[in-house]
Structure 1
Amino acid sequence: MTAPLPAFAGRTYLFQVDNGAEFRNAYSADGKRLRWEGLGESAGQWEDVALHVAQVGPEQYFVSWTEQSGITVSHVMDLAELTVRAFWTYEGEGGRVGELHTGTLAPVAP
């Protein structure tokens, strides 16, 4: 039995994070890949990553990926409220650093 497509499959969102970071997140039609593009201070940065996805509630998805740099990103997307709770980790001084953030999503027209 195959899982239904996640509601974000084939869609693009502007993701605005509470720390001022902004990303354009374009999800593949099958919901298994994400191409994120940094905006503002992160302009010019982008990556295409494989996703791990689980639906955790109505219109709510736990989504996680690992970037080539070693950054790990996990977030819960609430598509009904257009909000995100994100946790990412990266190598910092003295070891691995984790950050918890909130953010909003705005659908981008095709």
Structure 2
Amino acid sequence: MTAIAFPAIGHVFRADYGERVYRVAFDADGKTLRWAPFPAEDFDAAATTETYRSLPIRPGVFMVTWKEADGTTVTHVEDFEHDTVHASITLPDHTFLNLTGSWTRVD
């Protein structure tokens, strides 16, 4: 099977779920991302850095996962073809969130 390149590496995206909007910057190393609420006056100061894993589902669609320091787990299904993102998030208190929104490259 040919490896499918993750198209987000080195780019910044806006995940807009309606009431919740985030900026997600994928570092060029292909291993870390930084995220913060959008808009953050000073993204670098507000951003949280996470180590993520991306798995191709099909060309243009990837599952991206990470675990935050407080125990929050995040799973994104990022659809670069249709500019959508689906998120499943488990918070430390075990609250489970399902969000769907637009996925827009902003850099």
Using structure 2 for the length normalisation, give the TM-score: 0.85
Match of 1:17 in 2: 17
Q: Is the 8 A contact 2:14 2:38 kept in 1?
A: no
Deviations 1:36-83 (A, max 9, x none): 011269x87421100011000111000000111211100100001110
Q: Is the 8 A contact 2:4 2:56 kept in 1?
A: no
Counterpart CA distance in 2 for 1:12 and 1:84 is 14
Match of 2:65 in 1: 64
Counterpart CA distance in 1 for 2:88 and 2:64 is 11
Counterpart CA distance in 2 for 1:45 and 1:10 is 19
Counterpart CA distance in 1 for 2:29 and 2:56 is 14
Match of 1:102 in 2: 100
Structure 1 residue 31: Cα displacement: 2.4
Higher strand share: 1
Q: Which runs of 5+ in 1 are unaligned?
A: none
Structure 1 residue 26: Cα displacement: 0.5
Q: Is the 8 A contact 1:21 1:40 kept in 2?
A: no
Structure 1 residue 105: Cα displacement: 1.2
Moved over 6 A (4+): none
Q: Is the 8 A contact 2:62 2:79 kept in 1?
A: yes
- Identity among equivalent positions (%) equals 28
Q: Which runs of 5+ in 2 are unaligned?
A: none
Counterpart CA distance in 2 for 1:45 and 1:66 is 18
Q: Is the 8 A contact 1:52 1:63 kept in 2?
A: yes
